[in-house]
Amino acid sequence: MSDKKRKITSEILNSRPELKETKIGILKGVYGVVPFVGPMINEILFDIPNRIYQSRINDTVEILSEKISLLDNETFNKEYLESEDFFDFTQKMITTSLKIKSKEKKNALANFYIASFCNQANFETDSIRLFLIFITELSIIQLSILKLVEFNQKELNEIASYSNFYKIYCDSLSSCKLTKYEFKYYINDLENKSLISLGAGLNDFLDESSNFVFEDHKSSSVVITELGENFIKYLKE
């Protein structure tokens, strides 16, 4: 018996691109001959993704082209444009564009990318790399919550509880579609990304301990962090 480690099928396909293409061709053929359902599966798995990806790239490139046309030639540093950092940011921008569909996110993505070469950013250390991750992971709802936090800093000072925060959120919208605990999840995710801070923590929806506190006790506030402020400015441009 050979001492060499046996490769699993996926490892073989990843190491042999031509085999992967053959596999895709076979799958297309198989799905294509299944009556009625086959063509639909074939389109969902192979044709539609290609059209969607191309459309998303085209939309992003169009936004980028419009913004870049407004820049002065002095903005472009030839040495940086030939660097690995520029290559990495460009590659990240393209792969990120495939994952986003809203115009707001595409606009922010273009702003992140332009900032990367305008500031000659280091791909390994610059916060723009984080922002490229955030823009795919955050929902449109979370972006609206982040803007709400920035706009309502006075009202969110010593807000104390998720219930009070949730009320401000619902009052600011014509229709509040989030449940309380969906809202809490989105809030905690924003804090985990260090975009907002909840101080020592907000009281839970079922926690009534905030009604029994000392007079000199200061309740927790919801504030936007420095990282959050830097992130949100790209949503406005």
Residue 108 in any domain: the answer is yes
pLDDT at 113: 92
pLDDT at 123: 96
pLDDT at 175: 67
Which residue range forms the structural domain that includes residue 174?
140-236
The tokens describing 6, both together, are 């046996």
Asked if residue 172 and residue 117 are part of one domain, the reply reads: no
Residue 73 in any domain: the answer is yes
The domain that holds 174 is classified in CATH as 1.10.10.10
Listed residue (23, 42, 18) closest to 31, CA to CA: 42
Asked if residue 100 and residue 53 are part of one domain, the reply reads: yes
What would the pLDDT profile of 84-121 be if each residue is shown by its tens digit? 999 999 999 999 998 999 999 999 999 999 999 999 99
Asked if residue 103 and residue 64 are part of one domain, the reply reads: yes
Structural domains in the chain (count): 2
Asked if residue 151 and residue 226 are part of one domain, the reply reads: yes
Listed residue (210, 193, 106) closest to 149, CA to CA: 193
Residue 232 in any domain: the answer is yes
Asked if residue 99 and residue 83 are part of one domain, the reply reads: yes
List own/partner pairs for 115-119 with CB under 8 A and 24 or more apart.
115/234, 116/85, 116/86, 116/89, 117/75, 117/76, 117/77, 117/80, 117/81, 117/86, 117/89, 118/71, 118/75
Supply the pTM of this predicted model: 0.74
